């Protein structure tokens, strides 16, 4: 990917597509495909979250890390329903391995603050602001 004049141009798309066609799929190819979906969406609202959920599930099979699980939870919250993502975040919080890694990871806290408003959970939103 290249940044030109404040916009992002994807230059790795053909390489990702070639790797996927050849069956050489590893975590980097899946991560690149997810990144391409983010940067090629004309707006945040037009992001193909359903495709990102599918790719995130594939990435979880290839690289099952707490950060990948967090990203998958957020994607499901965006594609399926905020409540779905919140349940996935709660499951991560209950998992000792994940919670130990994620409590020091800024996007974990941002995710826990971003999904409750989408689910109209006012009390959780207020706690997040404190």
pLDDT tens, position by position, 39-63: 999 998 899 999 999 999 999 999 9
The pLDDT, as a whole number, for residue 96 is 83
Whole-model pTM: value is 0.74
Give 71-78 contacts, CB < 8 A, sequence gap 24+: 71/34, 73/111, 74/111, 74/114, 74/115, 75/49, 77/115, 77/118, 78/47, 78/49, 78/52
> In this predicted structure, what is the pLDDT of residue 20?
64
What's the rounded mean pLDDT across residues 120-124? 56
* Interval 15-36: pLDDT, tens: 556 666 777 788 998 998 899 9
Q: Which has more confidence, 55 or 12?
A: 55
pLDDT band at 129 (very low <50, low <70, confident <90, very high): very low
DSSP string, 53-68: HHHHHHHHHH---HHH
């Amino acid at each position: 990917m290249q940044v030109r004049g404040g916009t992002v141009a994807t230059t790795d798309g053909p390489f990702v597509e070639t790797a996927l066609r050849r069956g050489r799929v590893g975590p980097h190819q899946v991560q690149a495909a997810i990144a391409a979906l983010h940067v090629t969406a004309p707006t945040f609202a037009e992001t193909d979250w359903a495709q990102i959920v599918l790719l995130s599930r594939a990435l979880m099979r290839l690289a099952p890390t707490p950060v990948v699980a967090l990203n998958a939870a957020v994607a499901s919250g965006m594609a399926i329903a905020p409540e779905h993502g919140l349940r996935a975040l709660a499951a991560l919080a209950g998992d000792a391995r994940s919670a130990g890694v994620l409590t020091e990871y800024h996007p974990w806290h941002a995710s826990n603050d971003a999904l409750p408003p989408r689910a109209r959970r006012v009390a959780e939103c207020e706690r997040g602001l404190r």
